[in-house]
Amino acid sequence: APLGANAVAELEALATRHLVQPWESLEHLGQEARTLLTGAEGVYVRDARGNRLIDGPAGMWCMQVGYGRRAIAEAMAEQAMSMAYNSPWYSTSPVAAELAARIAEMTPGDLDHVFFTTGGSTAVDSALRFVQFFNNYLGRPEKKIILSRGGAYHGSTYLSASCSGKERDKVYLDFAKDLVVHLSAPNPYRRPEGMSVEGFCDFLIEEMEAKILELGPERVAAFIAEPILASGGVLMPPPGYHRRAQALCRKYDILTISDEVVTAFGRLGHWFASEAVFGITPDIVTFAKGVTSGYVPLGGFAISRAVVEQVAGPENKGSVYSNGYTYSGHPVSCAAALANIRIIEQEGLLEHVREIAPYFQARLRELEALPLVGEVRGLGLMACVDCVADKQSKNPLALDKEVGGRIDAHCQELGLVVRPIYNMCVMSPPLIIEKPEIDRLVEILRQGIERTQ
């Protein structure tokens, strides 16, 4: 039930006064609270005033199976009652063992060792820590540099944030600059003028090889990449890019990390997208978000047996991967993940995404006819509406940088939550979305953009 006007005002005042939220504008701290949500079901969230809104970004790309799933809540409650916690330092649980085995089946190639963390940032951080440990242990301490890309987002811990390539997120912060080198963003829409998409792919791969040679392959430890750069604006790499990048990594003995925190667990119609969609078998994949459909925090990485075997086993005395969290493999999170996976299977949601995604993408692309929209791009159930000052220059900078926020505000009034990222609106609804809801989502987004012009 909606809260009374007084209760809403009181709660908003508490949030305004005491809550510091991610990417908080300190300039505006204490002035305005974010939307107060009090309920959710299916693909909808409900605000404190009782309005029902389609959850366009599925929370933060995480709410795969939709809200209000009793089976997940019950699995969590049962686990909490039977054993709410176990220390991963000296024990494990049936649900952690089962989940690790399930994930090992889903991942490409021989990626059959799974390490659990508390979310996506800690998954990336832990994977990078493993890479550092791996090379140091093998006696090549100079092999430390991580290649990342412009526009990337890999998390908010120190090392994962160092890999992120969004310059605006780095203002007034120092990061591990000596450890990370950024390559160009694979953004075909804003490729150099006059260059074909194939030519742009050549450019990116040549740039990567030149950088490896400039740094010295013996100094380059890993290449980390989201299959599709998600928060960077759903940047779709040119065809063949990932395969060619992986071939370079193999040539120069560089480990590949596919950051599938967003793309795994059905967002592109597969458990993992690296192999199924992009034809690559990385050495490590990271996951989080969709593994539990966001019902409770969990993340992790899966690593190739061939890599692990180089540092594991009785002949490797003193080989200890000193990294772990109090909540690594938390049993309640693992129980939620198993229940979530059961739902995805029982309801055929991977197949559903593969079936409905072309409709979702086609309907959204109709928005390209609007004067403010430069490009709509995406794959599966992830898409981005890229707003530009004018279609010729594709220049987003001349626009008011809050344009995405203004579109979101209009859309929220009309019944849709948008994920605004500067000049872009990201859409990644729950996997259970059906055609009528897609139609409504597109219609509201159209009106929201029209009102913004």
Residues at the interface with ligand PLP (CB under 6 A): 60, 119-121, 124, 153-156, 226, 230-231, 259, 261-262, 288, 299
Per DSSP bridges, beta strands 424-427 and 373-379 are unpaired
* Residue placing its CB nearer to ligand PLP in the complex, 59 or 88: 59
By beta-carbon distance, which residue lies closest to ligand PLP?
Answer: 120
The CA–CA distances, whole Å, from 40 to 63, 202, 284, 426 equal 11, 46, 34, 20
Q: How does DSSP assign 160-192, residue by residue?
A: HHHH---GGGGTT----TTTEEEE----GGGPP
* Residue placing its CB nearer to ligand PLP in the complex, 220 or 426: 426
Per DSSP bridges, beta strands 220-225 and 284-287 are unpaired
Q: Contact 28/7 with Cβ under 8 angstroms? A: no
* Residue placing its CB nearer to ligand PLP in the complex, 203 or 325: 325
* Residue placing its CB nearer to ligand PLP in the complex, 60 or 248: 60
* Residue placing its CB nearer to ligand PLP in the complex, 124 or 338: 124
- To ligand PLP, the closest distance from the beta carbon of 119 in angstroms equals 3
> Which amino acid, residue 227?
P
- To ligand PLP, the closest distance from the beta carbon of 48 in angstroms equals 25
- To ligand PLP, the closest distance from the beta carbon of 178 in angstroms equals 22
| φ/ψ (deg, to 5) at 201 | -65, -45
- To ligand PLP, the closest distance from the beta carbon of 147 in angstroms equals 16
- To ligand PLP, the closest distance from the beta carbon of 377 in angstroms equals 17
Angle between helices 70-83 and 331-346 (to 10 degrees): 150
Measured CA to CA, the distance from residue 101 to residue 112 in angstroms comes to 8
- To ligand PLP, the closest distance from the beta carbon of 80 in angstroms equals 22
| φ/ψ (deg, to 5) at 327 | -105, 20
- To ligand PLP, the closest distance from the beta carbon of 161 in angstroms equals 9
Structure tokens at 353: 């995404």
Structure tokens at 284: 């490590």
* Residue placing its CB nearer to ligand PLP in the complex, 274 or 452: 274
Per DSSP bridges, beta strands 220-225 and 255-259 are parallel
* Residue placing its CB nearer to ligand PLP in the complex, 427 or 442: 427
The CA–CA distances, whole Å, from 90 to 28, 86, 112, 220 equal 46, 8, 21, 35
* Residue placing its CB nearer to ligand PLP in the complex, 226 or 408: 226
- To ligand PLP, the closest distance from the beta carbon of 91 in angstroms equals 25
